[in-house]
Amino acid sequence: MPQGYQPSTGSGSKTDGDNFIMPYRERLQPWVLVRLLPNMQNIRVARFRSRSDAEGHLLAYRRLMPNDQFIVIFDPVLPLEHQLKAH
């Protein structure tokens, strides 16, 4: 995982008390295509069910935007009791 990466909560994410709840659709798609930005920032571009799908899109983005940096990461879903508490 790149240094400084913070998993994005996305627009569909919710909190239940102090626990983060990942929507069902995101749990099915653990491979994430991330665009790296200056100052250790990043943008989650898309989520994928398989690594090969994510890498295929990575190649396409690199051809379309050759001056930008993209990476594929695995963003696993942890059981709710192991997830970090929201601050």
Mean predicted confidence (pLDDT) in 28-46:
94
Cβ contact 73:2 at 8 Å: yes
pTM over 0.75: no
How many independent structural domains does the chain possess?
1
Provide mean pLDDT across the span 45-68: 96
* Residue 85 covered by a domain: no
pLDDT of residue 1: 41
Q: Which amino acid is at 27?
A: R
Q: Is residue 22 in some structural domain?
A: no
Asked whether residue 53 is assigned to any structural domain, the reply reads yes
In a domain? residue 3: no
Q: What is the pLDDT of residue 78?
A: 64
Domain assignment of residue 46, yes or no: yes
For residue 55, the enclosing domain spans 27-76
Residue 43 lies in a domain: yes
Q: What pLDDT score was predicted for residue 62?
A: 97
Task: Say if 42 falls within a structural domain.
Answer: yes
Q: Would residue 36 count as lying in a domain?
A: yes
